[in-house]
Structure 1
């Protein structure tokens, strides 16, 4: 009996389970049967009956499908395989092709091609298709009605009787757009479509992003087969909008939901499955068709595919996002409340407001960044270790000053000799890390392969220049890493040898040479008879010979000018005998301690070499000191920056040259240099076969076993070119000469040079190709901004994680390693200003079209005045005009996170335009005066009134020029303007007694102090002493960058001086 009961219970249980399963299956079958998806091949052309969409037979239908994202942004999703899978596997009977109207107006051919392709694929796969004129930022459809009408004419005439096509004439009117505006627009567009397709279904958008149906209820358009559009997103829109759709439906308005989603209205944010169930139940109840956003792999929650999916291969469920899995079940016909809510943890650490604009490519790049960073870090670490080891062991074969200046048996200090060195290394390592990350991104992700040959060629040229610049900066910074001070050795007075000083001159005026000779005659030396001063005049001028006789120095001339400056120096070399030679340009005035701070290095190396085996000896061949200038250079003066920026050449001579000591590649600068006669005789004298004899001579000395040294401290100062044209002329000669010399002397195959030396000299050669680099950097953003040519593919995410860190670290690195002597801003001005004028000469030199004409820089003093020369500045004007056009075009499209890329583009356009404007100002010049040399320093001074009372005042100077002195006095004396005075200036080494007249008095607002201005009238045979006080110093111009509050302040400062003050 118990067994029978158990058997009965078991049968009943099976029946219950079976009935439950059967009930579920039958109910599902009934739902599918009740809401079967229509197909064009079966149901034919649709039309509107009352509030319902019906087929040819009048049967109500509900279209369930998906909407693409922007066609041009996710073009790979428009393919036959994708449409076939949606139609067959999802039972999708509708696809909406979202063609953004703004994009169409800019690039009609690409947009139209993709749309027509999508229509053909939909027809081929038996789906209905919505042709969507997708307005968004152009909020009023009437804005582009002139483009919309021809577009709908074209499409409707191409598919006049096609049952598949539904027209959506305006996606989401928004902003201030009213229903009356939409009504006016629709009243013009609908007849265009009706002319070719008289009974196609047309969808009309409604105000407020197609969420205001009631305004359409009040005034419907007088056409048949129209439906009115509503858009919703379940995460943002709840009962209010649901009530609106119900009210509009009940009042007889035919409604079509052409775009909806289960995320927030941004297309991203949290998925609201509960709200989605309510929405789609409502649509099912009302019989309303819908298309779901979006058929894409964008990194946002509304996308149906995951960011990693590549649309060129068939997809599986594993490629779908959480949204995609839910929507697939919905379209297949499953009841919304029976579809499981899949809630995967957030796949990105980024906030929603950022992920809205992220593309699948961005997500891929961001997700791969950590692994890429690890690889770059490992590579850079290995490179650093290998490089340090190489440098450590290369001293034996290729000695440097640092390896021979230590006592025999000792090793030179390594790269991490101090905490400061470690910090600099960390900055350099970080900078190179981000530069390598950037270059990897540029070479892999930024190539515009799909945009044609021209954008691709422009990209590759830019990439080549960037890599070139990377290698150049890497060589530079690796040398600067080894930069260290070189303390002055101590030697006995009787160890100081004889020295010949060669002052080379050709066409410089005698008053300029007078200052130079005067500085040499005031040199301190234990035995002054060992110092021999020679003026080497290559122009055979009687007045120059007379000057040398007056100042009691030697004079050389020669019957011809063979070999130019190098031949001139070789001639002097053949007539003298001292073991060491100092070469000076005609304008370079040495400090009185020049020899005391240079010669001991040579003697110290001689003494240490004497203790080494002969095969380990390496004599010091040349010692280069900085070329400083006692007056503002063209950049400081013409750009009103003599109080804010150092001389343009300071970074080279006081940082780069000093760093080159570590690889024995110091460049001989032609002046302010001490050379070993033995080194010169070994190489056959100064090299005469190039216009940059100094560059060649130094290279030959270093390749013949001699070491070189560069000092940081300025020991001589001279004159800069007065005009921009002279500056350009000088740079063209230097650039062409350096490139030509490297070719003549076979830099890379030359014996006697280490790999480090060759790379160092290569960096010096490559620098002169910077005009090409500057031009490409200026043109690259202009090509995109003005011509809409995408030079490279770039999103805001790319810029933030690859470009921005690299840019910031480059600025930090440059400032730290230059000792704040230069910045990217000033570097940009330097390079941009010479770019138009050096391009052709440098290109000529690259192709071997060289020049041997030695162009002497004009060092005669001129009173400079502003002169606008259109022939000179037209390249800047053209590029500035293009920059303005590019900026204005970019401003039109700015809006939202998608515009961060445009903001960066504008940054480069504005930055480059700043460089161009400052170059324009530079060429325009500035009005000058006779007193270009202004020494701002405090020297002891005594002022004595030459009137009867002979008032005596003690004070200090505040400014000295060759013609005037300003002095500060603690008390205001009874010495009025016009009083003749005697001045005694004393700097402890030299005293000058001169006469003048008081020309101005500035009383202090606080206390009894004052500043007197005195015009010098009589030097009283003390002119040479006064000139020595004036010039025997490091120039008082800035030695580092001072804060100037950025490019805007700098530009406004120049404009105010030029326009408001007409200076």
Structure 2
């Protein structure tokens, strides 16, 4: 603990660095892990080996999550759509690493202690201290490299509000960096051109991309409601020029991302965060200093359905305006110019209406009944009860309990021992199911520690090999009309 909360996460780390710096034997490296992340047993063995190169200051590994993010949960698409970070950690960051511009992402990283001391610890002039530490180390000749192996498992944001808060913080931190002495146009920075170019790319991805998403909603309104032709095109040009581009872009991104990108879902995830991100862009550029670090809260009680009304009001109004503009232009005020040029606005508005409808459903938070994530399994388990042993089949499991398939289930309330996680764990039968029974593991600390170690070291987090459009479309239709 420390006496204050100055500089938030960076301050916490710097406070800890002062403690380890006072040890009789100072460390060569420090590993940074958020409190909701668990390292696999080979985390240090794999990352330390890359530190043999003295020019390496940071080894960053990907973040994998044991739970679905809010978009997956609220659209009931957990089984067919990956968490939003998969594109970044599986595709984008390896590409940046190939150009020598990979950067520290905070948790799941190993950092050279001497390098941190040379730059005075973690910098505190941005709420994204992780990206900034990469830039400051790079100025001292120490590089960040990316090891694309699943070596840690953590928690994704569990609620939509937390999801948006996290992305707004990332955006704000990048704007602070752009305005600071390590920015892409800074004369005081010693960064090479490629790093400045990467910073400019990151700046554009936050500012221009999200601005264009909002503009994509407004432009059809301008024409359908006020006759303002912000885009000088008609439906035939849409079909002849834009549609081939859109299809080719989608196919190219699907190929480059190895099936981790789908334009429609990208629009949903970006639009849902657009108001907070654009606010962070303006705030960070106009006032780069004096902002507090907003923590992404996790581990709360989410066993009830509730609505994010502030967001739903925004996107509900946008959906209403979109539908009202269509009705106004094509039903109430039929004009020749609408017939000539309105086809583009009509097609654009229908697409926007569909995306906004999906976004509105994302704003309805679905309950998460279980406190611990549960995963389907299909493997034999040895059970012992009253001196007798027999085999059952494990159907699903979490760190707190399991469901087993057994033609002769024990009575609810009885106790037994399950040979799980490589050891015998005491369990209580909590209920019978159609094909077996469910158990809750004993709540002793020794059992829980062993379960966490074994569970997070196992293959319980599925690696996405690719996304197929049809299953995602089916999941969306089931959510919208089911």
Shared fold (TM-score, shorter chain, > 0.5): yes
Structure 2 segments unaligned to the other structure (5+ residues): 21-25
Deviation of the 1:771 alpha carbon: 3.0
- 1:942-967 CA deviation, whole Å, 9 max, x = no partner? 122x246x241154x33112332123
Residue 981 (structure 1) aligns with: 416
Instruction: Please say if residues 622 and 707 of structure 1, whose CA atoms lie closer than 8 Å, have aligned partners that are also in contact.
Output: yes
Instruction: Please say if residues 225 and 328 of structure 2, whose CA atoms lie closer than 8 Å, have aligned partners that are also in contact.
Output: yes
1:1036 corresponds to which of 451, 456, 461: 461
2:142 corresponds to which of 674, 690, 706: 706
1:581 corresponds to which of 30, 39, 53: 30
1:650 corresponds to which of 86, 98, 118: 86
| Alignment pair present for 1:756 and 2:189 | no
Residue 952 (structure 1) aligns with: 390
Residue 561 (structure 1) aligns with: 5
Show the 5 A alignment for 1:117-132. none
Instruction: Please say if residues 732 and 838 of structure 1, whose CA atoms lie closer than 8 Å, have aligned partners that are also in contact.
Output: yes
Distance 1:954 1:660, change over 3 A: same
- 1:556-586 CA deviation, whole Å, 9 max, x = no partner? x333333322122122223322111100111
Deviation of the 1:735 alpha carbon: 1.1
Distance 1:850 1:785, change over 3 A: farther
Instruction: Please say if residues 260 and 466 of structure 2, whose CA atoms lie closer than 8 Å, have aligned partners that are also in contact.
Output: yes
Residue 676 (structure 1) aligns with: 112
SS class of match (1:853): coil
Show the 5 A alignment for 1:333-412. none
Residue 263 (structure 2) aligns with: 824
Show the 5 A alignment for 1:523-562. 557-562=1-6
- 1:473-532 CA deviation, whole Å, 9 max, x = no partner? xxxxxxxxxxxxxxxxxxxxxxxxxxxxxxxxxxxxxxxxxxxxxxxxxxxxxxxxxxxx
Residue 1025 (structure 1) aligns with: 450
Q: 1: distance between equivalents of 2:200 and 2:192?
A: 12
Structure with the larger RCO, 1 or 2 (CA within 8 Å, 6+ apart): 2
Distance 1:761 1:960, change over 3 A: same
Residue 925 (structure 1) aligns with: 365
Residue 183 (structure 2) aligns with: 746
Largest Rg, 1 or 2: 1
| Alignment pair present for 1:781 and 2:220 | yes
Q: 1: distance between equivalents of 2:120 and 2:153?
A: 29
| Alignment pair present for 1:996 and 2:428 | yes
Q: 1: distance between equivalents of 2:262 and 2:472?
A: 12
SS class of match (2:363): helix
Instruction: Please say if residues 890 and 906 of structure 1, whose CA atoms lie closer than 8 Å, have aligned partners that are also in contact.
Output: no
Q: 2: distance between equivalents of 1:703 and 1:738?
A: 17
Q: CA RMSD in A?
A: 2.8
Residue 128 (structure 1) aligns with: none
What TM-score comes out, normalization by structure 1 length?
Answer: 0.42
Q: 2: distance between equivalents of 1:768 and 1:707?
A: 24
Residue 23 (structure 2) aligns with: none
Q: 2: distance between equivalents of 1:923 and 1:968?
A: 36
Instruction: Please say if residues 305 and 367 of structure 2, whose CA atoms lie closer than 8 Å, have aligned partners that are also in contact.
Output: yes
Instruction: Please say if residues 721 and 858 of structure 1, whose CA atoms lie closer than 8 Å, have aligned partners that are also in contact.
Output: yes
SS class of match (2:122): coil
Q: 2: distance between equivalents of 1:729 and 1:710?
A: 26
- 1:667-694 CA deviation, whole Å, 9 max, x = no partner? 2111000111122122221101221111
Residue 909 (structure 1) aligns with: 349
2:232 corresponds to which of 789, 793, 804: 793
Q: 2: distance between equivalents of 1:1037 and 1:890?
A: 48
Q: 2: distance between equivalents of 1:921 and 1:974?
A: 40
Deviation of the 1:587 alpha carbon: 0.6
SS class of match (2:43): coil
What TM-score comes out, normalization by structure 2 length?
Answer: 0.88
SS class of match (1:1045): helix
Show the 5 A alignment for 1:156-171. none
Show the 5 A alignment for 1:225-236. none
Deviation of the 1:1040 alpha carbon: 4.8
Structure 1 segments unaligned to the other structure (5+ residues): 1-556, 607-618, 1004-1010, 1058-1063
- 1:224-249 CA deviation, whole Å, 9 max, x = no partner? xxxxxxxxxxxxxxxxxxxxxxxxxx
Deviation of the 1:708 alpha carbon: 1.9
Deviation of the 1:933 alpha carbon: 1.0
Show the 5 A alignment for 1:199-210. none
Distance 1:939 1:582, change over 3 A: farther
Residue 861 (structure 1) aligns with: 300
Q: 2: distance between equivalents of 1:1042 and 1:797?
A: 31
| Alignment pair present for 1:961 and 2:398 | yes
